C-alpha cells in the first residue's frame, strides 16, 4: 500500500497501518504513545514491541524517531520509559539523544517527592542522523571579555580581548508552557486529553528534517505533529485508532488551513 505518499490523517491501528507502508520511507516520526495506561484513550491500547519494530522498518537510513514518554507514578516510577528505550536499542535503533521535555507549569502532584515536570524525548536514529539543523538561542553573556587563547604547560596563559558569541546551540532540555495558549490556541485540540505543545513538534521538525521530507505520527491524537509539519512545508501523515480523535485532528487541520495557517508562538 502506497499510503505513505499522501498528506492525511487516517483511522487505523498503527501497527496494521505501518505494515502496509514501504520500508525506509519516513524521514521523521514524532509521537507520544499512551503510557502505562495512565489515561484511557477511549479504551485503546497499543502493542509497544510491534510498534517499535514497524517504526524501525519504515524509517529511512539516517531518519529519526522522537518518542515522547513519561512514567506512571504509583508509589514509585514505573520506568516503562527505560524498558522501552532499551528495547529500541535491541532492535537496531541508535539512542542518539535522551532529551527532556520540561513543562513550565505543572500542578503539584506528590506529597513526598518533588513535582514531576518532565517527560523523556528519546531521539532514536537509524544510523547517524542525515539531517541536523541546530536551533540556536541567545547566549546569556554577551559583549567583550579577556579570553585565554594560549594555555601552555608553563602555566602562563595569554589572554586577548575577544567578543563573546551572541548565540549558541540550544541545550537538550526544552521547556514549554502547557495548557491553553501554551500547548496551542486551538480550542478544538483540548477535546483530546493529552496534547503536546505545537512548538515542541515544530522544534523537532525544524531540527531533523528539510522541506518536503515526510513527517509521521502513528498515534497522532489531536493532530499536533501533522499541523506543524504542514505549516513548515513538510509532507505529513497521521494515524490514530480512535475515530473521534481523528475527527478532531482533521477539523483542526481544516481550521488551520482556513485561518491561513496562523499558529501560536
Ligand atoms: C498521548 S496521545 C497523543 C497525543 C498527540 N501527540 C497530540 O498532540 O494530540 C496517544 C494517542 O494514541 C492513540 N492510540 C492508542 N493506541 C493506538 C493504536 N494501537 N494505534 C494508533 N493510535 C493509538 C490514542 O487514541 C491517543 O490519541
User: Where do the domains of the chain lie?
Assistant: 3-135+170-258, 139-168
β partners of residue 230? none
User: pLDDT at position 39, please?
Assistant: 57
CA of 29 to the centre of ligand 1 (A): 13
- At 186, list the grid cell: 486551538
Kindly give the distance from the C-alpha atom of residue 126 to the centroid of ligand 1, in angstroms, as a whole number: 23
Task: Supply 104's cell numbers.
Answer: 513550565
Query: What is the chain's alpha carbon radius of gyration, rounded to the nearest angstrom?
Result: 21
3-state secondary structure of 162: strand
Low-confidence ranges of the chain (pLDDT < 50): 1, 263-265
Check: CB of residue 44 under 8 Å from CB of residue 34. Answer: yes
Atom of ligand 1 nearest to the CA of 239: 21
Residues 56 and 17 sit within 8 Å (Cβ to Cβ)? no
pLDDT at 263: 47
Query: Pocket around ligand 1: residues whose beta carbon is below 6 Å from it?
Result: 13-14, 32-34, 41, 44-46, 192, 194-196, 218-222, 224, 239-242, 245
| Interior/surface letters 176-209, b for 16+ CB within 10 angstroms, e for the rest | bebeeebbbebebbeebeebbbbbbbbbbbbbbb
Which residue has the least CA distance to atom 24 on ligand 1?
41
Say if CB 65 and CB 85 are below 8 A apart.
Answer: no
| Predicted TM-score of the model (pTM) | 0.91
For 40, list phi and psi in degrees, rounded to 5: -100, 95
Nearest atom within ligand 1 for CA of residue 30 = 6
pLDDT of residue 42: 60
If one residue of 16, 18, 34, 65 were mutated to test the ligand 1 pocket, choosing by the most ligand atoms within 8 A of its CB, it would be: 34
Q: How far is the CA of 66 from the centre of ligand 1 (A)?
A: 14
State the closest ligand 1 atom to the C-alpha of 242, by its place in the atom list counted from 1.
25
Rounded distance from Cα 246 to ligand 1 centre (Å): 10
Q: How far is the CA of 98 from the centre of ligand 1 (A)?
A: 21
pLDDT tens digits along 147-192: 877 666 776 777 888 888 999 999 999 999 998 988 999 999 998 9
Nearest to 219 by CA among 8, 33, 10: 33
Please tell me the predicted confidence (pLDDT) of residue 1: 43
From ligand 1's centre to the CA of 239, what distance in Å? Answer: 8
Yes or no: domain 3-135+170-258 corresponds to CATH 3.90.226.10: no
Q: Taking Cα atoms as reference points, which of 66, 54, 53 lies closest to residue 17?
A: 54
Pocket test for ligand 1, best of 196, 240, 245, 251 (most atoms within 8 A of CB): 240
**According to the model, what pLDDT value does residue 110 have?**
81
Angstrom distance (rounded) from CA 96 to CA 88: 11
Amino acid at each position: 500500500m502506497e499510503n505513505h505518499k499522501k498528506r492525511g490523517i487516517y483511522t487505523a491501528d498503527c501497527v496494521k497501518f505501518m505494515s502496509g507502508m514501504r520500508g525506509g520511507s519516513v524521514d521523521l516520526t514524532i509521537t507520544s504513545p499512551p503510557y502505562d495506561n495512565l489515561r484511557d484513550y477511549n479504551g485503546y491500547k497499543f502493542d509497544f514491541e510491534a510498534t517499535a519494530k514497524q517504526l524501525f522498518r519504515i524509517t529511512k537510513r539516517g531518519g529519526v524517531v522522537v518518542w515522547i514518554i513519561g512514567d506512571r507514578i504509583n508509589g514509585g516510577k514505573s520506568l516503562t520509559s527505560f524498558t522501552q528505550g532499551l528495547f529500541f536499542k535491541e532492535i537496531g535503533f541508535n539512542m542518539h539523544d535522551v532529551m527532556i521535555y520540561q513543562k513550565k507549569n505543572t500542578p503539584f502532584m506528590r506529597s513526598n517527592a518533588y513535582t514531576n515536570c518532565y517527560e523523556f524525548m528519546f531521539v532514536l536514529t537509524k544510523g547517524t542522523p542525515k539531517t541536523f539543523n541546530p536551533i540556536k538561542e541567545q547566549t546569556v553573556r554577551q559583549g567583550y571579555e579577556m579570553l585565554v587563547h594560549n594555555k601552555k604547560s608553563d602555566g602562563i596563559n595569554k589572554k586577548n580581548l575577544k567578543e563573546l558569541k551572541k548565540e549558541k546551540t540550544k541545550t537538550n532540555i526544552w521547556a514549554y508552557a502547557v495548557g491553553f495558549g501554551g500547548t496551542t490556541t486551538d480550542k478544538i485540540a483540548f477535546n483530546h486529553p493529552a496534547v503536546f505543545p505545537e512548538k515542541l513538534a515544530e522544534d523537532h521538525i525544524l531540527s531533523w528534517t528539510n522541506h518536503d521530507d515526510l513527517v509521521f505520527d502513528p498515534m497522532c491524537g489531536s493532530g499536533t505533529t501533522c499541523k506543524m509539519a504542514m505549516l513548515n512545508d513538510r509532507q505529513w501523515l497521521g494515524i490514530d485508532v480512535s475515530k473521534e480523535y481523528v475527527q478532531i485532528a482533521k477539523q483542526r487541520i481544516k481550521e488551520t488551513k482556513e485561518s491561513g495557517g496562523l499558529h501560536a508562538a
